[in-house]
Every structure is written in structure tokens, then in C-alpha cells.
Amino acid sequence: MKTRVMSRLASILARVSIRPSLLAAGLAGLAVCAGMLLMAVGALAALSGADVYAPPAGGHFGYNRFVPKTIPGTTYVDPVFKGTVRRLTVDHGLDDIYARNMWWSADATRYVHRTYGVPGKADNWDIINVATGRVTHTGIPFGSFAADGGFDPVNRNVLYYLVEDRGDGRGEIHRVTLTGSGSWSDTVYFTAPGPLAGLGGSLNWLDASGRYMLVRYGPEPSVYLYDRQNLAAGPYGNPIDARNYVETGSYLGLSPDGQYIVGFDSRLVGQSGVGQGVSWKLDHSKRAVASTPTIFWSLCGDHGSFISASDGRNYMITYDCYSQPGLWRVDITNDATGLNEPQQQALSGNQLLIGFFTWSDFGHVSTVARGPLRDWAFVATEDTTDTFDSGEFDAKGKITPWHAFRQEIIAVNVLTGETRRLAHHRSRSILDYYNQPRLSSSWDGGVVGFASNFNKPGIVDIFLLPFSPAS
């Protein structure tokens, strides 16, 4: 049993790795009313259920043929699921998009795009207007850790970047304020007592209200929580040692409601040694972090995202890699220490959300942080067998065999289990990191972005879907 499970995990976890751009940025650092305009494009009419919905084999939208026009802001309606897909980028830059919400401005009208690998352009940030796809601001520095910067959750005009060392052994968080006519200002927002370090580039380090901030600096324990309403009071007690979380290739961050520090321990621990999800309760009245973490799930790798649902509970939306492939809702307050798979599944609040048909359907996850849609999560299934131009040479257009949920972007309500199947992401040969349709929801869930190569080797751009479950 263990041999079969580990083989399965090896295939799944091959995609759970440190992002190349995150690693490169880290090495470089060491060396030195949301979506309203977009919703006017067209109503979302997603399908639900678990039927097999293959993409078209031929015609204009043929799976091996169709590529959206290389025009900023161009849209098309997915021929199967009827979601309106909008092109955000046209430069094929290797973007850092990932689960966290910080790629989007507070009102979801702006997206921060990295221009890594764009010919003739420096490796910086561009700001893109979500409604038009037009670049409004360019050349913004991202500091020492490109994947850790991003937008403020409250002020639509503000984003932040991290500088490891300003030259005197102290790090800084810079605040960039966007102004009219493509201009912007850059000021120092926070100066750390020691060199800054990244948090893994996967989760928000600001909660959805913008009050609490997670910062990593200096020797271990290096991860500190601050109340931004009183920065002068200093950090909370019981800082966290990041070596078991960030330094093993995973991450730390804040739950959207600001009540927990959350993360993943990627050491050879937990069920069959595949790592474990962890959380620390925050005591805001005593200004302290729990002295030890709660281990709440150890049945798969670190792909997942955290959500503060309307039932008052905090969950990780993640996977079970053992008896049956599936996406799970997992309560982060449960103690799963030493428990086997059935025992962990049976813990309070844990629930299977989507049962997949193959072990090739695991992928990236992103969750909504606040507002009326805060019970929704998004998942991109990623079939490693779907390579460029793959499939049978037959009348079905080289797309067979197909199965339910294959290569899709799916929205799921984490409390009711309702699913909305939004689009085929059409990105292929996803063993290459940048080809993976890494998802990112805006803070309020009004849009969800993803990367796709549309069956074109070496050509990856960012696209988005508006989301409204009432449509």
C-alpha cells in the first residue's frame, strides 16, 4: 500500500516545487465595486455536476488549434462552460501568479504582472487594467522577493515590495502608490531590525482587513506578527522559526480573518512523510502567537489555499492523496497528530468537496478572502498526460480519451459543496512550472486569474474569468 501511495505522491508532488522565479529572486536578493466593468462583458453560465465535458475537437475552438487574439483585453466565451475568458497579458512574461490574493488591487480593477523574460524589457512589475488589459504603470521595482510583494487589501492604489538589506543589515518594506498618467511614488513603509526574508510567495502576509501583517527578518525565530494600527508597539510574542516551513520549500501566511498564522511543514513528517498543514492561533488581546503549532492535515503535499468561511471556521482547501483522489475542506483547528487517513477525514468540519476520477487531476487552488463570495474556492485541474498536441489522431480531434474535470477551472462552495465548472484552461505540458495554470482569486472573488499556453510551447500569458454564482 505504502509503495503505491508513494508512487502516486511522487507524480503529484512533482508539481509542488519552489517556483523558479521565486528561487531566482531569492538568490538575487541574497546577492544584493469589484469587477463591475468586467462583468458587463457577459454573463457567466457555468455547468455543474460531474459529467464529461470535452473541449471541441475541431472548428474555431478546436483544442489543438484555438488561441485567443494577442490583443490586450480581448475576450472569448468558453464553448463548453460559457465562461467569459479575458486576456490580461500579451508579452509572454514569466509571471509569478499564485494562490494569494495580493496580485489584485483591493477593488479588483488592477493586476500586478512580472515582466521576467520579456525581450527588451527589464525584470520589473507592470500594472494592468483588468477591464482593458492595458498596461497603466510600468517599471515598478519588486525588490528582493518578487513573489512576496503585492497589493494592499484596502487601498486600491497601494502595493508593497520587500528589500532584503538596504546596506546596513536592515531590511525594508516599500510602499508604492499609483497615481494618474502612469506615475507612481515609492516610500519606505517599514524598517526591520534585521535583513528581511521571504515567506514563500504563496499566501497573503496581510489579512483581508489590512490590519495585521506578517514579516520575516533576522535570525530564527524570524517570523513576526504586527498590528498595523500600532506598529510602534512592536511585534507579538512567540515569533515562529521559519526553517521547517519556508526553508523546506513551502510557506507561511495569514488567514483572511487575521485570527491565525497558517502554513505547511514540508519535512518528511506526517502520513508517509509527505508534510503537514499547520496553524497558530493568535491572541490579539495578549498580543501573542500560540507557542506551538496545531498539526491539522498530513494526507498530501502543500498545494492548497486558506479560507475564512461564513460559518466562522477557518479551512484549508487541499487534497487527499491516498484512498481516493479528491479535493477536501479541512478545519485548521483540528489536531491530526498521529492520525491515519480515515481518522483525519472524520475530524470535525472536514469534508470531501470534489471526488476526481484520476490521480492526474490535482492542481492549484485559490480562495476568496472576504465579502459575499467568501465561501468560494477555485481549483485548476492539471493532467500531466495532456502534452502538446497529444491525443489520438482520429475524428475526435486528438482530444481522446477525456474524463470529467480534466484540465478545467472549477469554482466550489466550501460549505454547500456546489460546483461551477468555468472553463478549460487549455494549458498543456504542465510539468513545466510556467505552463501550470496557477490560479489567483481577487480579494472578493469577482475575478480569478490563471496562466495558460494554449498549446503553444514557450508562449504563456495570464487570463482571467469573472465569477458570479448568481449568473
Task: Give me the residue spans of the domains in the chain.
Answer: 2-466
Task: Summarize the confidence of residues 428-449 as an average pLDDT.
Answer: 97
The counts of H helices and E strands in the chain are 4, 27
Whether residue 102 is predicted with pLDDT greater than 50 in this model: the reply is: yes
Q: Kindly state the cell numbers that stand for 141.
A: 521595482
Most confident of 294-298, 320-324, 359-363: 294-298
* pLDDT value of residue 12: 52
pLDDT tens string 224-234:
999 999 999 99
- Phi-psi map region of 217: left, alpha, beta (phi>0 left; psi -120 to 50 alpha): beta
Picking from 221, 226, 260, 225, the residue whose alpha carbon sits closest to that of residue 242 is: 221
Give yes or no for a contact between 134 and 113, defined as CB atoms under 8 angstroms apart.
Answer: no
Picking from 449, 407, 444, the residue whose alpha carbon sits closest to that of residue 97 is: 449
Distance of CA 175 to the CA centre of its chain: 22
* pLDDT value of residue 48: 81
* pLDDT value of residue 388: 94
Picking from 86, 184, 199, 105, the residue whose alpha carbon sits closest to that of residue 147 is: 199
pLDDT tens string 189-198:
999 999 999 9
More confident residue, 35 or 95: 95
Average predicted confidence (pLDDT) for the chain? 90
For a pLDDT cut of 90, what percent of the chain falls above it? 84
Task: Summarize the confidence of residues 310-338 as an average pLDDT.
Answer: 96
Task: Please report which confidence band the pLDDT of residue 54 belongs to, taking 50, 70 and 90 as the band edges.
Answer: very high
More confident residue, 198 or 45: 198
C-alpha 66/C-alpha 426 separation (Å) is 9
Task: Please report which confidence band the pLDDT of residue 22 belongs to, taking 50, 70 and 90 as the band edges.
Answer: very low
For a pLDDT cut of 70, what percent of the chain falls above it? 89
* pLDDT value of residue 253: 98
C-alpha 63/C-alpha 56 separation (Å) is 6
Task: Summarize the confidence of residues 247-264 as an average pLDDT.
Answer: 97
More confident residue, 7 or 412: 412
Q: Kindly state the cell numbers that stand for 310.
A: 461564513
Distance of CA 384 to the CA centre of its chain: 19
What letter represents residue 256's amino acid?
P
* pLDDT value of residue 394: 62
Q: Look at the block and give the residue holding cell 502554513.
A: 263
Task: Summarize the confidence of residues 338-363 as an average pLDDT.
Answer: 96
Whether residue 405 is predicted with pLDDT greater than 90 in this model: the reply is: yes
CATH classification for the domain delimited by 2-466, as one of 1.25.40.80, 3.40.50.360, 3.40.309.10, 2.130.10.10? 2.130.10.10
pLDDT tens string 133-190:
999 999 999 999 999 999 999 999 999 999 999 999 999 999 999 998 899 999 999 9
